[in-house]
Structure 1
Amino acid sequence: MTSSHLDPDALLETACILAEAVPADELDSVRASLEYLYHADRAVRPNALREVSPHPLSMTDAETIVYQLAVEEILDDDHLRVEALRESFVGARLLTAQEEPPENTIVATIPYDDPALNPGMFEGLHGNLLALIRSADDDLVLMSPFLSERAYERLRPALHTATDNGASITLITRSLTYDEDNDYNREFARAVRNDERLAPYTTTYEYIDDETWTTFHAKIVIADGERAYLGTANLTHTGLGDNLELGVIFCDDTASRITALVESLRQSEFFHEVTASSGSFRR
């Protein structure tokens, strides 16, 4: 039998099953294995397909493929629709070639003591931010105008994971070498400085123009230049757990644009590397 035309729904369903069960570069070998079974006059059974296929199929995947082809009357012990089989595998190859667009995630800190707000409206900011930090393998940027030592305690395990992965950390804040009345940022920076698993891998900066007091208010976390948080939450315990905060974790090309902005800061006259000695900070 050589009928080549499949019902569009049948073609799509069969192609989807094949694409889920077989990697793109192994589709031809699995199709050839199926044709071999038929022409060798062997029973088209899951075990037989697993035996002859160069690609190691699980029993579940082999059963699903064989069952689907039989249901659509493409291939069984008694007949083979060659063109329909090949059409299905071409469809699978097209499906596997389609890259799924990365998904961005809206995250929020929702005050639990406000009954008017539903905590399930968005994904949690705190948990997703920790996951973003843990995912860094090469570079991690933490940019926040306000910090707190209590936030550092929340972030510390994730920061340890990032540096264990091999990531270097860029910490960008303000009020380290000036603004003596505000010690919160210095407490965070000191805690990082005193952490043996973080200090060797962390470089700290201030962004401030001493003449005009131009500074920044952006809150950003970037992992490997590929995933970035941009939102309202400072890296403080209230920002991560108490205040109403909203942001987005970008996994599309927006992340690279945010990364480019941060890299441009390194060329700014307002951007100052800060070191610590005996508990005090200097540029």
Structure 2
Amino acid sequence: MGPLPSRLRRLLLEARESVRIANPYFDPQQRIIGDIIGLPRKGAVTKILTREVTEPSHRATFNRMHNELDAEARRLLDVRELFELDESGRQAVATHAKVMVVDDSIAYVGSANLTTTSLGSNFEVGVLIEGPPVDDIATIFDEVFASARLVDLPVGGR
């Protein structure tokens, strides 16, 4: 038991080589977004899998990331979107997972979105995992990420 925001932020601050993040919802003003922006700045390959990037808070979040990174750091940030509707207009597939894999050595799997509500007032549960299961989590992330739609930053409206 402990404060989730500070634990997640510490994971990101300690990252050296790579971070994979799957999260469906973001708030651009969250402090953790600044930590994510810091990852490519320090040379860490950063992959983010999300949904509906043209939703206003997502557009603001990912455009903030783009705008605060120089060209070199932008090359280390890869954002992909997993969200599709079927022919009737209903959701067919979407990112819902909340996962972070840091340096292929530790993973967070939990319920929290990277939003003010989830990180500030909701009761959320998550676990930190080390050892061989981290490889499995990273492999699953990579397979889904490879099939997701590449997001060109900055994000415009649809």
Normalising by the residue count of structure 1, what TM-score does the alignment of the two structures yield?
A: 0.49
Across the aligned residues of Structure 1 and Structure 2, the Cα RMSD in angstroms comes to 2.1
Written as runs of structure 1 = structure 2, the 5 A alignment for 1:53-92 is: none
User: Contact (CA 8 Å) 1:172, 1:206: kept in 2 or not?
Assistant: yes
Which secondary structure does the structure 1 equivalent of 2:137 belong to?
helix
Please name the residue that 1:280 is paired with: 156
Aligned residues: 152
Please name the residue that 2:64 is paired with: 191
Please name the residue that 1:204 is paired with: 79
Which structure is richer in relative contact order (CA contacts within 8 A, separation 6 or more)? 2
Question: What code does the residue aligned with 1:155 have?
Answer: I
Aligned: 1:218 with 2:93:
no
Structure with greater helix percent: 1
Which secondary structure does the structure 1 equivalent of 2:68 belong to?
coil
Whole-Å separation in 1 of the counterparts to 2:56 and 2:142:
27
Task: For residue 266 of structure 1, report the CA deviation from its aligned partner.
Answer: 3.5
Which secondary structure does the structure 2 equivalent of 1:166 belong to?
coil
User: Is there any run of 5+ residues in structure 1 with no aligned partner, and where?
Assistant: 1-121
Question: What code does the residue aligned with 1:235 have?
Answer: L
User: Is there any run of 5+ residues in structure 2 with no aligned partner, and where?
Assistant: none
Q: Go from structure 1 to structure 2 and tell me whether the alpha carbon gap of 1:230 and 1:213 turns closer, same or farther (over 3 Å shift).
A: same
Whole-Å separation in 2 of the counterparts to 1:231 and 1:171:
16
Task: For residue 187 of structure 1, report the CA deviation from its aligned partner.
Answer: 1.4
Whole-Å separation in 1 of the counterparts to 2:157 and 2:22:
18
Q: Go from structure 1 to structure 2 and tell me whether the alpha carbon gap of 1:253 and 1:159 turns closer, same or farther (over 3 Å shift).
A: farther
Written as runs of structure 1 = structure 2, the 5 A alignment for 1:24-43 is: none
Whole-Å separation in 2 of the counterparts to 1:263 and 1:190:
23
Q: Go from structure 1 to structure 2 and tell me whether the alpha carbon gap of 1:281 and 1:274 turns closer, same or farther (over 3 Å shift).
A: farther
User: Contact (CA 8 Å) 1:131, 1:158: kept in 2 or not?
Assistant: no
Structure with greater strand percent: 2
Question: What code does the residue aligned with 1:263 have?
Answer: D
Whole-Å separation in 2 of the counterparts to 1:252 and 1:165:
25
Task: For residue 169 of structure 1, report the CA deviation from its aligned partner.
Answer: 0.8
The structure number with the bigger radius of gyration is 1
Normalising by the residue count of structure 2, what TM-score does the alignment of the two structures yield?
A: 0.84
Please name the residue that 1:95 is paired with: none
Question: What code does the residue aligned with 2:34 have?
Answer: R
Task: For residue 158 of structure 1, report the CA deviation from its aligned partner.
Answer: 5.9
Aligned: 1:234 with 2:122:
no
Whole-Å separation in 1 of the counterparts to 2:36 and 2:95:
25
Which secondary structure does the structure 2 equivalent of 1:209 belong to?
strand
Same amino acid, percent of matched pairs: 23
Give a deviation string over 1:6-26, Cα, whole Å, max 9, x none: xxxxxxxxxxxxxxxxxxxxx
Q: Go from structure 1 to structure 2 and tell me whether the alpha carbon gap of 1:158 and 1:192 turns closer, same or farther (over 3 Å shift).
A: closer
